[in-house]
Amino acid sequence: MEENFEIPAAGTFDGSDVEDMDEIGIEKEIGEDGLKKKILKNGDGYEFPINGDEVEVQYVGSFVDGTRFDSSYDREMPFKFKLGLGKRHVIQGWDDGVKTMKKGEKALFTIPPGLAYGESGSPPTIPPNTTLQFEIELISWTKVKDIYKDGGILKTILNEGENWQTPKDPDEVLVKYEAKLDDGSLVSKSEEVEFIVKDGCFCPALPIAVKTMKKGEKALLNVKPQYAFGEKGREPESNNECVVPPNNSLQITLELVSWKTVSEVTTDNKVSKKILKEGEGYDRPNDGAVVQVKLVGKLQDGTVFVKKGYDEVPFEFKIDEEQVIDGLDRGVKTMKKGEVSLLTIHPEFAFGSTESHQESATVPANSIVYYDVELISFEKEKDLWELSTQEKIETSGMKKDEGNTLFKKQKYERASKRYEKALSFIEYDSAFTEDEKQQAKLLKISCNLNNAACKLKLRDYKQAVKFCTKVLDADSKNVKALYRRAQACIQLVDLDLAEMDIKKALGLDPDNRDVKLEYKLLREKVREYNKKDAQFYGNIFTKMNKLEQLNSTNGARKQDIMSMTIDSKA
């Protein structure tokens, strides 16, 4: 199309109304402004170009009577333009029409004057108020994305990538890039460079753009100065490079070769995982799963302190059983079968503040450690829905016993979680037999009582009250529940409820030594609080008396002053 015909307005059609426009030879209207389309040849696929995409077409332009006035075929070169740029490129009828086309499609568009050259025409070829016809073939298009919607970074996809995932800030990417000035002068080139996305590379545009790319994708970036080197420019770093003058744009060809996903395993960022090789499927180990791994543990200086699973059989351990350090336990739980990852584990989830002697080296106190781990296979612990009613009761009992073992080791937080896990297997007992319901009831009482003991040790007194109350709802005469709830209530200064529970417990078990001691503690607390209350209120009364005396004195003084003032005016 010759330059004087490239006069469109911004398009308003987005291709969303073309689901039944694939009938060859049937003319249909597009939108509400009189644009008509007749398909001459169907295209391929299901995609349509959108605003910002650069399209490549062949066309023939003619009047309604068939007289030709322009053709790209005569110039033996397809015509390219960018959709959605309005009058800077093509008439609005073209903008609206081409958005309805598929790759390879050929169509005849009848364009009314309002979507063509209007009342002015395009002298000397196009008269005013002329309806035009264009036979257009959409050869291809290149996707262009305005990344920040400000024109600062325009990305044109040269080669589509794989899958749908894109890198995130913590990820480590491997890229190739070549940056040039608008005149083609080379600024910088790298065959392969690896960097963490959030740390950036070369210029601000690279980490921004790479977060929009898929693995294997290659793109051309049109970068404005604010996302390049801004007002300062850039000095060359080698003889093969040139200076970037201040306020200069760049053309960057960028390819995302690959990347390693980095994720935080714990919410406090003390355990992180970098995937070196993706695993299979979607399944991951659960608590209680038996896993087989190969692993190498290293210090920050590269010293290997442990290596397991590289002999004839992999190293095996059970998740959530403290058979390995906590960070390794948590990290492996996030992995898929066949996955290879690097775990970075801070001391809080590793060996802590004490020196630890391992099989190949000593891990110093407060060390960050690194584990290269390959998850060979795993066997998950059965999910709740896979168990029979009797298996649920047996599993609940087993989890309760595990909690008891942890409690004896003074690992109260973990013991509490184990009791809660035990309860989850028997929480819903509608399918249980009467005998099973009775077994489940006893387990619930035992687990809630033990969990209350954990919460007392952890000084979580409100939760201790909650678990004891659950026991008493099921067994109102449970002395241990009354005793432990009284303990928690004393700490919460709910002395009335504490006294009620202790007196009831003593009524049920008058010789219980622990309850008697708690009652003695309660009476001491009551005396202590009574004494404090007396002192508190005594102080208040003293202050009130002083305030009344002060007010009385001030009142007398005020009266004297007023009398003197009145006398002076007499």
Task: Write down the domain spans for the chain.
Answer: 26-141, 146-260, 264-379, 389-521
According to CATH, the topology of domain 146-260 is Chitinase A; domain 3 (3.10.50)
Number of CB atoms found within 10 A of residue 563's CB: 10
Reported as a pLDDT band with limits 50, 70 and 90, residue 2 is very low
Please provide residue 541's backbone torsions phi and psi, each rounded to the nearest 5 degrees. -65, -40
Residue 180 has pLDDT above 90, yes or no: yes
Over residues 417-422, the mean pLDDT reads 94
Which amino acid makes up residue 307?
A: K
Architecture of domain 264-379: Roll (3.10)
Q: What one-character-per-residue DSSP string does 220-246 give? A: EEEE-GGGTTTTT-B--SSTT---B-T
Please identify which of the residues 5, 134, 317, 349 carries the catalytic annotation.
134
Q: Cβ distance 567 to 531 under 8 Å?
A: no
E strands in 197-335: 218-223, 250-260, 262-264, 271-277, 290-298, 304-308, 315-318
Give 432-463 pLDDT, tens digit per residue: 999 999 999 999 999 999 999 999 999 999 99
pLDDT for position 384: 85
Residue 280 has pLDDT above 50, yes or no: yes
What is residue 170's three-state secondary structure? coil
Residue 477 has pLDDT above 60, yes or no: yes
Give 294-307 pLDDT, tens digit per residue: 999 999 999 999 99
Q: Cβ distance 419 to 397 under 8 Å?
A: no
pLDDT for position 68: 96
Q: Cβ distance 488 to 468 under 8 Å?
A: yes
Cα–Cα distance measured from residue 360 to residue 425, given in angstroms and rounded to the nearest whole number: 42
Residue 526 has pLDDT above 70, yes or no: yes
Instruction: Enumerate residues 6+ apart whose C-beta is below 8 A from 329.
Output: 319, 320, 322, 323
pLDDT for position 548: 58
Q: How far is CA 404 from CA 30, 101, 162, in A?
A: 74, 70, 51
Please identify which of the residues 48, 109, 117, 349 carries the catalytic annotation.
117
Instruction: Enumerate residues 6+ apart whose C-beta is below 8 A from 379.
Output: 289, 290
Q: Cβ distance 171 to 262 under 8 Å?
A: yes
CATH superfamily of 389-521: Tetratricopeptide repeat domain (1.25.40.10)
Residue 350 has pLDDT above 50, yes or no: yes
Residue written as token pair 């709830």:
485
Give the rounded percent of residues in the chain with a pLDDT score beyond 90: 73
Q: Active site includes 69? A: yes
Please identify which of the residues 39, 91, 325, 393 carries the catalytic annotation.
91
Q: Across all residues in the chain, what is the average pLDDT?
A: 88
Please identify which of the residues 14, 33, 63, 69 carries the catalytic annotation.
69
Annotate 29-48 with b (16+ C-beta within 10 A) or e (fewer). Answer: ebeeeebbbbbeeebeeeeb
Hey, do 26-141 and 146-260 end up sharing a CATH topology, with the first three levels equal?
yes
pLDDT for position 559: 42
Name the nearest CA neighbour of 375 among 315, 438, 456. 315
pLDDT for position 560: 41
Give 49-72 pLDDT, tens digit per residue: 988 788 999 999 999 999 999 999
Q: What one-character-per-residue DSSP string does 16-27 give? A: TT-TT---BT-E
Q: Active site includes 73? A: no
Instruction: Enumerate residues 6+ apart whose C-beta is below 8 A from 71.
Output: 59, 60, 61
Please identify which of the residues 30, 39, 70, 109 carries the catalytic annotation.
70
Over residues 349-373, the mean pLDDT reads 97
According to CATH, the topology of domain 26-141 is Chitinase A; domain 3 (3.10.50)
Please identify which of the residues 5, 13, 48, 59 carries the catalytic annotation.
59
* Lowest-pLDDT choice from 141-155, 321-335, 341-355, 414-428: 141-155
Give the rounded percent of residues in the chain with a pLDDT score beyond 70: 88
pLDDT for position 151: 87
Q: Cβ distance 224 to 152 under 8 Å?
A: yes
Over residues 118-147, the mean pLDDT reads 93
The token duo for 28 is 């249909």
Residue 570 has pLDDT above 70, yes or no: no
Over residues 133-147, the mean pLDDT reads 92
pLDDT for position 385: 85
Give the Cα-Cα-Cα angle 188, 192, 195 (nearest 5 degrees): 90
pLDDT for position 535: 54
Residue written as token pair 């040139």:
242
For residues 315 and 145, the model is more confident at 315
Residue 14 has pLDDT above 50, yes or no: no
Residue 400 has pLDDT above 60, yes or no: yes
Q: Active site includes 91? A: yes
Q: What one-character-per-residue DSSP string does 323-389 give? A: SS-HHHHHHHHTPPBT-EEEEEE-GGGTTTTS-EE-SSSEE-TT--EEEEEEEEEEEPPPPGGGS-H
The token duo for 406 is 């942890």
pLDDT for position 539: 52
Over residues 408-420, the mean pLDDT reads 94
pLDDT for position 519: 83
Cα–Cα distance measured from residue 125 to residue 15, given in angstroms and rounded to the nearest whole number: 30
Predicted TM-score (pTM) of this structure? 0.64
pLDDT for position 149: 86
Q: In whole angstroms, how large is the CA radius of gyration of the chain? A: 39
Cα–Cα distance measured from residue 100 to residue 12, given in angstroms and rounded to the nearest whole number: 12
Name the nearest CA neighbour of 189 among 242, 122, 258, 129. 242
Reported as a pLDDT band with limits 50, 70 and 90, residue 17 is very low
Range among 142-146, 316-320, 546-550 rated most confident? 316-320
Q: Active site includes 537? A: no
The token duo for 181 is 């000035």
pLDDT for position 82: 85
